Amino acid sequence: MTETENLLTPEELEALTTGLQDGSIESDTGLNSDLRAVRHDLTNEDSSLGVNVGAVDMVNERFVRQFRLGLLEVLRTTPKVNMANVEIMKFSEYLSDLTPPLSVNTIRLNPLRGYSMVVIEPEVVFSALDNFFGGFGRGFDELPPGRLFTPTESSIIKIMLNVLFGSLQEAWAPILQLKCEHIGSEINPQFAQIADENDLVVVSRFVAEVGKDVKGNIDLVYPYNSLKPIRDLLRSRVQTGDGDDASDKEWSVELQSAAVDAELELTVVLAEIETTLMKFEALQEGDILYLNKNEHARMFVDGTPIFDVDVGASGSQIATRIVKPLEPLK
């Protein structure tokens, strides 16, 4: 049979066409019926084809540990810094959620290409400033949109950036030796063009609480294209689980050191009695309550039973003597 010869005769072709038209021949065989075509815009890079977010999460975990330690040293307080989810989005979408004034800092992370950005909300700046000068980390009411940071406020921002740079370099060390460089600062993120509007960026957000009831965000924004060349390196680190054991041990020691100064409330209960609301409301001055005294009193630490104790006196002070520890609650 030559290439130009038809596989079907004209009569067979006509019969096939007629059968498809009148439905006597089934056209849907069921093969691949569940498959759907997905539209892909080749002009807009797909984030799912490149950077592994899990790798960035691992870097962020190490960064948070180092950043806490650094802030503890300069602010003389124990800060709370927690990770939020890493997100990949268009740069324009990220900018649309920001409200100036902010501490917007353009940075260079050599050898990564391009520029990255650190955005610190003013709540964090003012709370850190109050802590630095011996306060309790108080915030502020509200800032006008065009308000600039004063020289003193800019100084505390510089101190925080130095801590952040050191922490970031330590966090990346198992993967890549970074060198952080501060390029410039703005109060309006629209002026910090680290990427075009439609370009993708990788946003790592950290919620910082450096004062009493004052929270604010610190964002670390990488251009997607800066991380794409090292995506294979990031992926290999996630698979092997490489980490910085030395920094983990250092963080553990510092955490234990900070924990020993935590305040605890100790309560000693001699006895307890159960009653009804009616009897309780009927109680008057001079009434006598009969208690079933246990062999030992019980000591609670922040509401958790810890020891059986005996109550007595030591000199002129009421005192307790620990009899035995209690089994931990399961």
Q: Computed from CA positions of residues 8, 12, 16, 17, in that sequence, does the dihedral angle turn out positive or negative? A: positive
Residue in the structure block whose two tokens are 């066409």: 17
Residue 43: its pLDDT value, please?
A: 42
DSSP 8-state symbol, 242: -
- Mean pLDDT across 313-318: 84
Q: What percent of the chain has pLDDT above 90?
A: 38
Residue 246: its pLDDT value, please?
A: 59
Q: What percent of the chain has pLDDT above 70?
A: 79
Distance (Å, whole) CA 301 – CA 90? 50
Query: Two tokens at 240?
Result: 């092997």
- The values of phi and psi at residue 42, to 5°, are -70, -15
- Least confident interval from 10-24, 183-197, 295-309: 10-24
47-259 has which CATH code?
A: 3.40.1550.10
Residue 42: its pLDDT value, please?
A: 42
Residue 114: its pLDDT value, please?
A: 93
Give residue 6's identity as a one-letter amino acid code: N
User: What angle do helix axes 245-259 and 53-75 make, rounded to 10 degrees?
Assistant: 40
> 67-95: per-residue pLDDT in tens?
999 998 888 788 889 999 899 999 999 99
Residue in the structure block whose two tokens are 């049979």: 1
Query: Two tokens at 299?
Result: 């000591």
Q: Read off the pLDDT band of 207 (50, 70, 90).
A: very high
Residue 15: its pLDDT value, please?
A: 78
> 32-50: per-residue pLDDT in tens?
555 565 554 444 444 555 6
- Mean pLDDT across 248-270: 71
266-325 has which CATH code?
A: 2.30.330
Asked if residues 147 and 107 have their Cβ atoms less than 8 Å apart, the reply is: no
pTM over 0.75: no
- Mean pLDDT across 156-167: 96
> What is each CA distance from 207 to 54, 79, 218, in whole angstroms?
19, 11, 6
Domain ranges of the chain: 47-259, 266-325
Q: Is the pLDDT of residue 255 over 80?
A: no
Residue 184: its pLDDT value, please?
A: 95
Q: To the nearest whole number, what is the mean pLDDT of the chain?
A: 82
Sheet holding 297-301, edge to edge: 266-269, 297-301, 304-314, 317-325
Residue 244: its pLDDT value, please?
A: 53
DSSP string, 47-101: GGGS--HHHHHHHHHHHHHHHHHHHHHHHSS--EEEE---EEEEHHHHHHT--SS
> 285-302: per-residue pLDDT in tens?
988 888 777 788 888 887
Residue 120: its pLDDT value, please?
A: 96
For residue 314, give the 3-state DSSP assignment. Answer: strand
